[in-house]
């Protein structure tokens, strides 16, 4: 095997794409900061028993494991950052009130989550700790949408569900954990045949309700349909009511933000009409989508997005409420958040045009060196042509050249590239 070959689903990121990823990283971190989220940087590896406790147990098969040569203990390379941030909130910050944290860094997976996906995602996420109300759910959704808008997404679909709905249907049945897991997996896949087989021993009304869930996906009318066809219970009604209020709140928040209104005076941004016309956001529901059921404790959502109207939206964001995430660290605080993979996000965005740059000759002339330094101080990219070489770059396109004129160095426009 050639020494330069990389493992399957692991790849180098080359110049133009790497710059695009870095620009997106900065844009998303700026969006999080604008919402009051503080940046943390957890380590890439930890003791395995810290990574794989509590909700982290679901990541066991996705986690690379190795032995620490200093202590002899088993370490794990993180497959997700959420549990690490919960540890920081519980043990290092230990705040009594709200805590808003964001992060961005690589995670490693033993196997790709979907065909052609990288095993080394660059995970960006945000977590809000300390508030159990729907306001926290709304805030993290608003931030997730703001991040996608900052990335250039113009068509988005917010898909919502709630794990409490299935919990309400199975409440009191004392089912084996393996059976519950199989039922959840069948619901998430909308696999009716497996669902009938796995639920054969369930009460007939419960099985009918689970089968009905596989059809309960679509617009807001799904919630009214669920109230009609599912066995009534207080827990079910609370979950459906919370979803309904959340959708209404998201719509109101989006209408305000896209209109460019401000609480202080309601002033309208000059380009708000164009912005509103360019951004299309739909809200839908899928009451059977239980991916990550062992992780979430209430609301779960996905955001599908496309960079232009003709593009099919792809799932880019997952998030929701996971109030048990800090329990293993001694602080069972309310928590809500989301994450996305910057590499996946870049893959669905148009490739950016090369950045405009200035070509300059190489030389020791003091006036030339001052001219180059002044241009770079102004934010310009200046490429110096080393003797005997031409520029071979993808990231930059020289549209001007620094040339001598009447004893000074001046900029001269270059003809566009063919």
- What residues form the annotated binding site for L-histidine? 80-82, 123, 127, 291, 295-296
Which residue reads 């990823």 in tokens? 21
Nearest to 38 by CA among 82, 99, 86: 99
Spatial contact of 240 and 223, defined as CB atoms under 8 Å apart: yes
What token pair was written down for 367? 């006036």
In angstroms and rounded to an integer, the radius of gyration of the C-alpha atoms of the chain is 26
Please tell me the distance from the alpha carbon of residue 195 to that of residue 187, in angstroms, as a whole number. Answer: 7
Burial 297-312 (b: 16+ CB within 10 A, else e): bbbbbbbbbbbeeeee
Residue positions forming the annotated binding site: 80-82, 123, 127, 291, 295-296
Nearest to 305 by CA among 113, 189, 151, 119: 151
CA angle 111, 117, 120 (to 5 degrees): 65
For helices 221-229 and 234-259, the axis angle rounded to 10 degrees is 180
DSSP 214: T
What token pair was written down for 365? 């002339």
């Amino acid at each position: 095997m050639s020494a330069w070959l990389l493992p399957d689903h692991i790849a180098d990121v080359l110049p133009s794409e790497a710059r695009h990823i870095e620009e997106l990283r900065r844009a998303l971190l700026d969006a999080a900061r604008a919402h009051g989220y503080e940046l943390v940087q957890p380590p890439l590896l930890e003791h395995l028993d810290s990574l794989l406790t509590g909700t982290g147990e679901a990541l066991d098969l996705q986690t690379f494991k190795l032995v620490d040569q200093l202590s002899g203990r088993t370490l794990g390379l993180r497959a997700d950052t959420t549990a690490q941030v919960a540890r920081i909130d519980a043990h290092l910050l230990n705040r009594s009130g709200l805590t808003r944290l964001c992060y961005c860094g690589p995670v490693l997976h033993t196997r790709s989550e979907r065909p052609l996906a990288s095993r080394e995602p660059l995970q960006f996420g945000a977590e809000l700790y300390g508030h159990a109300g729907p306001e926290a759910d709304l805030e993290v959704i608003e931030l997730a949408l703001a991040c996608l808008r900052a990335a250039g997404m113009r068509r988005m679909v917010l898909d919502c569900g709630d794990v409490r709905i299935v919990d309400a249907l199975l409440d009191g049945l004392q089912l084996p954990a393996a059976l519950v897991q199989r039922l959840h997996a069948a619901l998430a896949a909308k696999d009716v045949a497996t669902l009938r087989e796995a639920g054969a021993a369930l009460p007939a009304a419960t099985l009918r309700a689970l089968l009905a869930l596989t059809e309960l996906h679509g617009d807001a009318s799904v919630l009214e349909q669920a109230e009609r066809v599912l066995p009534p219970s207080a827990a079910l009604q609370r979950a459906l009511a919370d979803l309904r209020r959340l959708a209404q709140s998201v719509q109101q928040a989006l209408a305000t933000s896209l209109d460019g209104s401000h609480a202080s005076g309601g002033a309208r941004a000059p380009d708000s009409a164009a912005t509103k016309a360019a951004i299309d956001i739909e809200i839908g529901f899928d009451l059977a989508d239980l991916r990550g059921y062992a992780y979430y404790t209430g609301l779960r959502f996905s955001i599908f997005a496309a960079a232009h109207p003709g593009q099919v939206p792809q799932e880019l964001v997952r998030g929701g409420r996971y109030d048990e995430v800090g329990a293993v660290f001694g602080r069972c605080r309310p928590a809500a958040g989301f994450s996305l993979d910057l590499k996946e996000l870049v893959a669905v965005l148009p490739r950016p045009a090369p950045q405009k740059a200035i070509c300059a000759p190489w030389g020791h002339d003091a006036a030339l060196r001052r001219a180059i330094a002044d241009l770079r101080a102004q934010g310009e990219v200046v490429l110096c042509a080393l003797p005997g070489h031409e520029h071979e770059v993808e990231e930059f396109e020289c549209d001007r050249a620094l040339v001598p004129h009447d004893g000074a160095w001046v900029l001269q426009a270059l003809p566009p590239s063919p």
